[in-house]
Structure 1
Amino acid sequence: MAGSRDLVKRQFGAHPERYVASAHHSKGESLDRMVDLAGAKPGWLALDVATGGGHTALAFAPLVREVVASDITREMLFAARRFVLAKRVSNVRFAAADALELPFAPHVFDLVTCRVAPHHFPDCARFLAEVARVLRPGGVAAVIDNVVPEDRSAADYMNALEKRRDPSHNRAYTAAEWQELFLGAGLEVMSTELFHKERDFDSWAGMQGADEETIADVRRMLEHARGAARAWLAPETRDRELRFYLTEILLVATRPPSAEGRRPS
């Protein structure tokens, strides 16, 4: 597990400004819906886990008392801080934190968010257990991440594709698996939505600074996808550009008063 964390730190620490500047990470329909459905209130204390470029923290900052933007990669935190301060936002503070071992007391936060990051985590069940632990009773958890088809062979193919492009990728889950993970953490899912996002291959493949051989391999894997994987990705060349679709899931849940919220062993 330590090896996975070190890989994430190296991968994101090498290119932090790319994530700050990325249009894919900075905005989108799923982020807008997360803000709408979370129901944030002015007195709330919010935590954004794996904040990356700080875009989700920035989106919630006008709606709450304070946002704690956390990330395991210090270079990302520095880049996010510069980005947020440049927007003249003063109610976001930053904390180095592992998503699987959040350094916060139980029942502290009214809202916990995490966006397009859990597929890097080596243990999403532990992550959600930590979310439940730090949420106050009645608090809200809102998570966005890439999802894969329920068809197992297609899901495996897509995870292999992502892993070839980005070695820090661990696993994207199906929608049904996400429901089970939330249930296992004692979080009650109130809303689930899917979003299909068109991507151009070149910008997506080059995001992590992959070499030409890696990018060529990933292109072949995408173009040669078959069956349920091809139907899900829908690759096609338009105007000499290879384009395809990724699918995101948004889950908004609450921590019921009966949830124990203990740190996982």
Structure 2
Amino acid sequence: MTKSLSQEHFGARARDYVQSKPHAQGKSLERLTALTEPQSGWQVLDVATGAGHVAYAFAPHVARVWATDITDEMLAIVREQAAERKLPNIRAAHAKAESLPFEDATFDLVTSRIAPHHFDSIADFLSETRRVLKPGGIFALVDNVVPEGAVGDYVNAFERFRDPSHLRAWDMAEWRAAISKAGLSVTHEEEIFKRMEFASWAQRHDANMQRFLRAMLIEATPAVREFLQPAADGSTFRLSEGLFIAKAP
């Protein structure tokens, strides 16, 4: 079976994501646990778990966490890390976000963090999330977001040149509408800015591509620069995450 761009990208760099600052740390990870108030009896599903950071954050507070991903190398990392961290209630399983292998009304909480901009269909992912949530269950989402219009298009292009598996980051209004259309009620939303280090963000590329990406960053239009807020030398810049908490009826 031919691997997708996401499987190739994340499979080759799986171990890097264990220590990746935007994934292993960041305000949004803390906010997810604070806002959802996990309970000891909960069954939790983390979709596109990557190196498993959301699963590790929730596991001490709930009965079980299913950490799913389409990349076998990532799932191997999760199993290894769960054992090292002494979190026996984590189960790692292969699953595509748009076709979850779980029965209806199984989970008290479904999470996904910094992943949906890679999904083939966010609408199908949200539909599956609604299906597997128990009545009154919680959906907690974090993903990169962009401004509306041309600035958002530019930021998506910037991200996609760096990582072809990046399909499209949505803006906050698009997420709000899509979550509602899936039959979930948004109870909380916020936008969280994060500072990125260009060197680590672009390190997978050769010098020519890094020069191109840096030029996209520091020679952008004023509107793009206002959003990305690059340092004068392009050494750092800003991205944004949208955080949504929603409930199933």
TM-score range, shorter chain: over 0.9
Structure 1 segments (4+ residues) deviating >4 Å: none
1:90 aligns to what SS in structure 2? coil
1:166 aligned to which of 163, 166, 172: 163
1:249 aligned to which of 219, 242, 246: 242
2:238 aligns to what SS in structure 1? strand
Alignment of 1:127 with 2:103, yes or no, is no
1:223 aligned to which of 218, 223, 227: 218
Amino acid at match of 2:36: A
- Normalised to the residue count of structure 2, the TM-score between the two structures is 0.97
Amino acid at match of 1:242: S
Equivalent residues in 2 for 1:1-265, closer than 5 Å: 6-150=4-148, 152-206=149-203, 209-237=204-232, 242-256=235-249
CA contact (8 A) 1:26 1:55 kept: yes
Gaps of 5+ in 1: 257-265
2:46 aligns to what SS in structure 1? strand
CA contact (8 A) 1:20 1:80 kept: no
Shift of 1:228: 2.3
2:236 aligns to what SS in structure 1? strand
Amino acid at match of 1:203: S
Q: Distance in 1 between matches of 2:181 and 2:16?
A: 35
Shift of 1:31: 0.8
Q: Distance in 2 between matches of 1:12 and 1:68?
A: 19
Amino acid at match of 1:125: A
Q: Deviations over 1:132-152 (max 9, x none)?
A: 0110110000000111012x1
Amino acid at match of 2:164: P
Gaps of 5+ in 2: none
CA contact (8 A) 1:149 1:229 kept: no
2:38 aligns to what SS in structure 1? coil
Q: Using the TM superposition, name which of 246-255 and 23-32 deviates more.
A: 23-32
Shift of 1:154: 0.5
- Normalised to the residue count of structure 1, the TM-score between the two structures is 0.91
Q: Distance in 2 between matches of 1:113 and 1:138?
A: 15
Amino acid at match of 1:135: L
Q: Deviations over 1:110-148 (max 9, x none)?
A: 000000001111211111111001101100000001110
Q: Percent identity?
A: 46
CA contact (8 A) 2:218 2:234 kept: no
CA contact (8 A) 1:109 1:135 kept: yes
Q: Distance in 2 between matches of 1:24 and 1:153?
A: 25
1:42 aligns to what SS in structure 2? coil
Q: Distance in 1 between matches of 2:223 and 2:135?
A: 40
Q: Deviations over 1:136-190 (max 9, x none)?
A: 110000000111012x110110000000000000000000001011011111000
Q: Deviations over 1:208-243 (max 9, x none)?
A: x22332222211111112132211100013xx6611
CA RMSD of aligned residues (A): 1.4
Q: Deviations over 1:79-137 (max 9, x none)?
A: 12112211111110111000011111111000000000011112111111110011011
Amino acid at match of 1:251: F
Q: Using the TM superposition, name which of 157-166 and 120-129 deviates more.
A: 120-129
